Amino acid sequence: MSALKVLMVGAGAVGQTYGFHLLRGGAELTFYVRPGKVAGLRGGVVVHPLNLSRAPRRLEGYAVVSDAAQVATAGPFDVVILTVPSDALRGAWCTDLLAAAGPDATVVALQPGPQDQQWVADQVGAERVVAGLIALLAWFAPLPGVDRAPGVAWWRPPFGKLPFSGAPARVQPLVQTLRKGGMPAKAVPDAAQAGAAASAVMMPFIAALESVGWQLARLPEPEPHGLALGAAREIRALVAPKASDLPLKIMGRRGLLRVGLRVARWFMPMDLQTYTQAHFTKVGAQTRFMFARYVELARERGLAADHVQGLLDRLAALDAKRAPTG
Ligand SMILES: NC(=O)c1ccc[n+]([C@@H]2O[C@H](COP(=O)([O-])OP(=O)(O)OC[C@H]3O[C@@H](n4cnc5c(N)ncnc54)[C@H](OP(=O)(O)O)[C@@H]3O)[C@@H](O)[C@H]2O)c1
């Protein structure tokens, strides 16, 4: 197999994590970033692959481009991986980039928002899209209170594999390169649907958590928990009606949730509450974007979204409180 030529769109936590493993697996890697971010990436960056070791490593040996003309010159690419948040995805900049990357590039869509995958398919044709689910946690180190060199850190839960779905001829080179680079990955029948189902359950609890000041211990309290569970049911009915009920049943048991949150502390290499607050504050615009889309979709389809709207209202109230006055 000749080296897979990959354009990584975004060099944030996920972009650097996937990029590290693809490079190790023998891919030729180019990051696309906004012009202001080019200098910070030149010459390599520090990363913390916490599943491999606690010692920092260097991510280096990649190219960096920052506009569609440079993408066209550096291409054509075999694979384009979109790691920007859902709210950043839809835009002329992305459409131009996809056109510049090459007429047959596989486009990997990792975004969790409703209809994100559809938007990508509308740009390049469904046959070129590979859907992926980000089954790991990545963040900009150091998290508050941790003594670690600045750089992206990541942790993959034990036995977790990055799932991808799409045409086998497009999925296999990606999966093989990631595996060769030390990241377990696998082909699955429908990563987009798995992602929609996971987001349907997870995002309401994240929004409820934000509404109680990110205090994990308060999440099982009746009020935030009831609102999150109601919203999870509504979103699931909207985007993943055929998904298994089990995650909802588990999250619906407040005692079980309390125990699960305590147990998670024992095996994660970072504090879950600190990571959750840092990550979802960073992608807060995406959370609001996703909830607004869920409400819109529910209205279009005549489905209930009272709890989703309730969470969106809470986030809006928080934003209003934070907004500078005068
Ligand atoms: N991190 C995780 O643990 C995790 C887990 C599951 C799912 N995800 C999902 O993965 C996605 C990315 O998360 P992340 O943690 O990697 O976020 P991140 O660290 O903020 O990275 C996002 C990257 O996208 C870039 N970007 C945003 N708008 C852009 C634009 N218009 N043009 C070019 N680049 C743009 C950002 O560039 P700038 O720095 O210039 O803004 C940044 O490099 C999100 O959808 C998130 O929900 C993440």
pTM equals 0.97
Residues contacting ligand 1 via CB (< 6 Å): 10-15, 33-34, 37, 83-86, 88, 93, 110-112, 134, 137-138, 279, 282-283, 286
For ligand 1, atom 32, which residue shows the shortest CA distance? 34
- What integer is the mean pLDDT of 247-275? 94
Taking only the tens place, the pLDDT of each residue in 32-64 is 999 999 999 999 999 999 988 889 999 999 999
Please check the confidence at residue 325 and state whether its pLDDT lies above 80.
Answer: no
pLDDT band at 326 (very low <50, low <70, confident <90, very high): low
pLDDT score for 208: 98
- What's the CA-to-centroid distance between 136 and ligand 1, angstroms? 14
22-35: per-residue pLDDT in tens? 999 999 999 999 99
Q: In what order do the strands lie in the sheet containing 45-49?
A: 57-59, 45-49, 151-155, 137-141
**Ligand 1 atom at minimal distance to the Cα of residue 282:** 20
Give me ligand 1 centre to Cα 266, in Å: 28
What pLDDT sits at residue 1?
A: 64
Q: Which residues of 200-238 are buried (b: 16+ CB within 10 A; e: fewer)?
A: bbbbbbbbbbbbbebebeebbeeebbebbbbbbbbbbbb
Is CATH 3.40.630.30 the classification given to domain 5-188?
no
For Cα atoms 57, 136, 166, give the angle at the middle one, nearest 5 degrees: 110
Q: How confident is residue 2, by pLDDT bands cut at 50, 70 and 90?
A: confident
pLDDT-based confidence at residue 132 (cuts at 50, 70, 90): very high
For 33, 43, 65, 156, the CA distances from 40, given in Å and listed in that order, are: 10, 8, 12, 26
On the question of pLDDT at 323 being above 90, the answer is no
Rounded to the nearest angstrom, the distance between the alpha carbon of 89 and the centre of ligand 1 is 10
Mean residue pLDDT across the chain: 96
Ligand 1 atom closest to the Cα of residue 134 is 6
Write the pLDDT tens digit of every residue in 206-247.
999 999 999 999 999 999 999 999 999 999 999 999 999 999
Task: State which of 17, 20, 34 you would mutate to test the pocket of ligand 1, scoring each by most atoms of that ligand within 8 A of its C-beta.
Answer: 34
Domain ranges of the chain: 5-188, 193-322
Which pLDDT value is given to residue 54? Answer: 80
Q: 83 C-alpha vs ligand 1 centroid, how far in Å?
A: 6
pLDDT higher than 70, residue 114: yes
